[in-house]
Every structure is written in structure tokens, then in C-alpha cells.
Chain A
């Protein structure tokens, strides 16, 4: 099979077209949000979100409500709990995330144990890019546009509050509000990504491309651009590779995204050696 056919042939199927668009959208949004997660040491938050969502999904299943809305609500509750514990109770961020995430996770496990819809729960909790619907595609595109636009518009205030929140407060910036917005934004990215393209792909795309980008540049605009580009390329390449190799898409994309980090470490080491010589 020629290179072009390798790229084009899978795209003749509508499910692959939807998967490609959805993966690209999450591939941009997740890393752009992830840059702030890594800069603000909120990586653990994104992981804990994956656990906390269980509570909302289980509650929605028990109540017969939309599972996606239930997941979103759980993510928002967790984000607000964490923000409250960090901003008001002055807890360290990792402790706040651990307490809120594990508490919600425990509630979710109890909810699942009494749920009568284990298959529906499985679908929402472990979404698959190959089964993504047109409505899901629209949701992730909207999410991507919102995340990128919010970061572009708020870049000066995001930089000021991330680099030195104490100093930002002296400029009358409401840092608590910005912290909450960042955590809520991350929560939205995780839950929308998680329920559309899958938990593994969503979480990995939040963290790995942003980490790789930070290894390759120390300028925030370049890091954001690189993170989005690396996320989108890992998503698309992983999707195509999974199709041709007959492997599950989410894990392949995740492995490629992690491989980008390894490549970035290697590239940075080589560059430093060259500078040293």
C-alpha cells in the first residue's frame, strides 16, 4: 500500500472521518489546557478527574438522566471542591485533589455497584474514538474552540497568575477566580474528552504533548503552539496506525503521545550536548 493510500483509504469510512475530526479537536484542546496543568502542577488533577467522573455517571444512571451531563457535573463539582479547598481552606493542591477525587470516586463505586446499566456506564467511562457520534464531534469541536479562544484572550492574566500568583494579587487580579476558571476548564476538557474519545487518550493528550512542548521551548506561546501540534499529530497518526495494525485507537494514540515526550527528551539532550561542544 502506497503512503498516500495508507493515509486516505481509512478516511473513506464515515466513522473514521468522525474519529479523525474528534481526535484532532481533542488533540488540540487537551494539550493547550494541559500546558496550564503542567505549569500549575495540576497534573494529578487531570488524573483524579478520571476517577471523580464515575460518581456523576453513576448518579445519572441511577436517576435516569444524561450520563454525559452527570459526568460533566461530577467534574465541575470536583473542580469547585478543589478550588474551594485550595483557595479558601489553603490546602496544598495535591492534598485537595486527593481528598476531592478519592471521595467522589468512592461515591461512584458505590453508585456503580447498585446500577442496573453497567454497559452504558462502560461506554461513557471508556469512550472510543471509533464509536464517536456526530453530536460528540460537535461537542469536542466546540470545546476545542472555547479552550483555544479562552487561552488566547486570557494569555496575559494566565501568565501573570501562573508565574507569580502573589504578585498578581497586588495588581488587583482576582487570582482565586482565575484558579477556579483554570480548574473548571481542565475538568471540562477531561470529561468531554473522556466520554468521547476515551479516558486513556483524553488524559494522555492533556499531559504528554504539553510536557514534550515544555522540553522543547521555554516561551509560552511556542509551548502552546507546539503542544497543540504534537497533540493533533499524535492523535491523527495514532488513529491511522490503530486502523492499519488492528489495535485499539486510544492506547495507540496514548503511546505515540508518550513517545513524543521521549523524543523531546532525546532532542533536548542532543541540543545541549551540541551547545556544550
Chain B
């Protein structure tokens, strides 16, 4: 079995007296696509934010550069927030928004270098956004906006991709295209972990499903976790699968 590129142990997140995520153990491996499923408020977003380093937590989150498909001495983790998070009325083009992903530590004040332009251009092309590169971000449709957020994450050249409900509010065709792209990225060696409610998609596209309700209910192959008699069904998660 491959070693974990990102692993958390006993991860607990509290918001004041409320425990949002409790004692979660999980490991992500390069080349796998993992669906994180659970009811609203189960802690999916909080778990992803903790893994991305956005939320203070108890327990450990360890990144192992030796487990990367393309070892660079560090594990790069990219986080794609829910689509409502950015200020879409900001006067910037799609290209500039994607290039914002190329803002690594120590180069805060530097203009985009040639490499940044090349990598950003590649991310735009990968998500079929090249023709929209000059368009204002506020003029994008929901599906295009989601592709922009994914392109920005790809511009970070990540080893691990964490996505918070990227399919939310998209039409069927956009969801299929997005999930297809995520599957390709996983096949190319990226570790992809995606919070989602679309259980049929999770079963079809993901290697593994993790069902959570504050703590992990089940973690295993999609067919097993989402089966009619599986653990997730006990919590009303498998009904739509």
C-alpha cells in the first residue's frame, strides 16, 4: 500500500463550546480520489479547512513529501472553497484571478514571473478557460466560476487538492465535466479529496468514500460505504446512491 501524502490523527476542531470535528483519523494517498460525504453540518467543510491549515485544531496533520508523485521536498496543498466565498464583483480578469494562485511565501510583492504566466496559462487551458481569460470574473456562469477556482488551485501545482462542495448549484453537464477533470487529476497522481452531496457521482468516480458525522462513520471503497446495508445508510446518507 502507498504511504499517505497527507495524514491527520485525532483531529478535533472546536468553535467555542461546539465540537465541529472530533478525533478524525484519515490518510490521503497520491493518485486517489476521495469523496467526503455527510449531512449538512456534519463537519465536512471544517475538516477540509483544518486539513488546508485554515482552522486551528487539536491533533496532528502531517504532510509527507516522500509520498508525492513528483517529489519537490514539500507537499503542496491547494484548497478550493465553496463558490460563494470570493468577491465575484471584483474588477479582475479570469487570468489575474487564476494567477493569484501563484503567490507563494517570500514573493508577496513580486509581479507575476514568466513561469507564473506559463503555469497559469496551462491551468486555464486544462480547465478550458483560455478563451475566457480576458473576461471579468463577474461575467462568468456558475460552471465557469467553479472551473476558475479549480484552475487557480492547479496554478499552485498542488500534490493534494481539497475541494469544498464544488458541484453545489451546477447543472448536470457541468458536474459531469468537473468530476471528470478531478478524476483525470487523480489518475495523474494528485490526491483529491472532495466534499460532496452527489452520492451517485461519489460511487462512480471516487476510489474511496469517507462518511462523517463529526467523526468518521465509515471509510472504504465507495460500493461498500454507500451500499444499502452500509454504515452510511444507517445515517441516511446512502438513500440517494
Question: Which A residues contact B (CB, under 8 angstroms)?
Answer: 35, 39-41, 153-154, 156-157, 159-160, 162-164, 166-173, 214, 217-220, 223
Tell me whether B105 and A163 are in contact (CB under 8 A): no
CB-CB < 8 A to B110: which residues of A? 156
Contact of B87 among A153, A163, A219, A223 (CB under 8 A): A163
Tell me whether A171 and B96 are in contact (CB under 8 A): no
Residue among B53, B96, B100, B139 facing the most chain A CB atoms (10 A cut-off): B100
Tell me whether B87 and A160 are in contact (CB under 8 A): no
Q: How far apart sit A151 and B78, CA to CA, in the bound complex (Å)?
A: 27
Tell me whether A156 and B53 are in contact (CB under 8 A): no
Given the contacts A167-B100, A214-B91, A219-B93, A157 and B81 also touching, CB distance less than 8 Å: no
CB-CB < 8 A to A40: which residues of B? 87
Q: How far apart sit A159 and B64, CA to CA, in the bound complex (Å)?
A: 31
Tell me whether A163 and B78 are in contact (CB under 8 A): no
Q: How far apart sit A172 and B54, CA to CA, in the bound complex (Å)?
A: 9
Given the contacts A156-B110, A162-B87, A171 and B92 also touching, CB distance less than 8 Å: no
Q: How far apart sit A157 and B111, CA to CA, in the bound complex (Å)?
A: 10
CB-CB < 8 A to B92: which residues of A? 159, 163, 218-220
Q: How far apart sit A163 and B77, CA to CA, in the bound complex (Å)?
A: 20
Contact of A156 among B79, B81, B105, B111 (CB under 8 A): B111
CB-CB < 8 A to B90: which residues of A? 39, 159, 162-163, 220
Q: In the complex, how many residues of chain B place their beta carbon closer than 8 angstroms to a beta carbon of chain A?
A: 33
Interface residues of B in 60-102 (CB under 8 A from A): 77-79, 81, 85-87, 89-93, 96-97, 100-101
CB-CB < 8 A to A170: which residues of B? 52-54, 77-79
Q: How far apart sit A160 and B136, CA to CA, in the bound complex (Å)?
A: 15
B137 at the A interface (CB under 8 A): yes
Residue among A153, A156, A217 facing the most chain B CB atoms (10 A cut-off): A156
A-B contact count (CB 8 A): 88
Q: Shortest distance in angstroms between B112's beta carbon and chain A's nearest beta carbon?
A: 7
Tell me whether B137 and A163 are in contact (CB under 8 A): yes
CB-CB < 8 A to B93: which residues of A? 218-219
Q: Shortest distance in angstroms between A24's beta carbon and chain B's nearest beta carbon?
A: 24
Q: How far apart sit A163 and B92, CA to CA, in the bound complex (Å)?
A: 8
Q: List 29 A-B contacts (CB under 8 A).
A: A39-B87, A41-B87, A153-B109, A154-B108, A156-B109, A157-B103, A157-B109, A159-B92, A159-B96, A160-B103, A162-B87, A163-B97, A166-B85, A167-B81, A167-B100, A169-B54, A170-B52, A171-B156, A173-B103, A173-B108, A214-B91, A217-B91, A218-B136, A218-B138, A218-B139, A219-B96, A220-B92, A220-B96, A223-B91
Interface residues of B in 90-143 (CB under 8 A from A): 90-93, 96-97, 100-101, 103-105, 108-112, 136-139
B44 at the A interface (CB under 8 A): no
CB-CB < 8 A to A35: which residues of B? 91
B197 at the A interface (CB under 8 A): no
Residue among A154, A163, A169 facing the most chain B CB atoms (10 A cut-off): A163
Q: Shortest distance in angstroms between B17's beta carbon and chain A's nearest beta carbon?
A: 16
CB-CB < 8 A to B96: which residues of A? 159, 219-220
Interface residues of B in 128-170 (CB under 8 A from A): 136-139, 152, 156
